[in-house]
Amino acid sequence: MARKGVLSVVVSGAAPAADAGSLVKQALGRGWTVQVIATPSALAFFDAAEVAALTGSPVRSEHRAPGTPRSQVPDAIVVAPATFNLINQWALGIADSYALAVLAEQTGMGLPIVALPCVSAPLASRPQFARSVKALRGEGVSVLLGPGGTVTSGGGEDSFPWQLALDEAYSMTGFGG
């Protein structure tokens, strides 16, 4: 029996996070084993208990207590939606939340990572955002940007392109096809 790939999904606090369950369902449907990590602000956007029921594991948003087992090292990571704040902090190596600490460490491990930003046009036009995207890409992160360097959405399964991140994760790993 072929081994299933493990996918970590990092969710940050933007409108599409309300449908994080859709990304999880799509990933599970493609054969991934999914574990979800949320930034503190993302928890207000989606039902963590519902997502935990889908994945069979709790949504992590805080560092584990000493002696508690670590999460599985994933085969790939999807960061979606990735906010302006998350992208900039990640690129600068700021690890002031569990989600950012995971991204900092696992970027350094060279794991396949796909980021699907949800950033408004005015924020995407800021020079710091362009520098951050360039820095992350320089470390091997696949940052998927739409026209004008943005991915914007009011949320909803049909309006946020979750499948683009899953397609990219598949192309990087061969898992979850």
Query: Domains in the chain, ordered, with CATH?
Result: 6-61+73-173 (3.40.50.1950)
**Per-residue pLDDT at 100:** 98
**Per-residue pLDDT at 39:** 97
Tokens of 25: 């369902």
**Per-residue pLDDT at 15:** 93
pLDDT tens digits, 115-160: 999 998 899 999 999 999 999 999 999 999 986 566 655 444 457 8
Is 7 within 8 Å of 35 (Cβ atoms)? yes
**Per-residue pLDDT at 1:** 45
Instruction: Please tell me the distance from the alpha carbon of residue 114 to that of residue 51, in angstroms, as a whole number.
Output: 20
Angle at the Cα of 122 from the Cα atoms of 121 and 125, rounded to 5 degrees: 85
**Per-residue pLDDT at 155:** 45
Helices 84-92, 127-138: axis angle to 10 degrees equals: 50
**Per-residue pLDDT at 156:** 44
**Per-residue pLDDT at 88:** 98
Phi then psi for residue 29, to 5 deg, are: -65, -25
Residues 6+ apart with CB under 8 A from 171: none
**Per-residue pLDDT at 68:** 80
Q: How far is CA 113 from the centre of its chain?
A: 8
Tokens of 143: 């940052």
Positions in the chain short of pLDDT 70: 1-3, 147-158
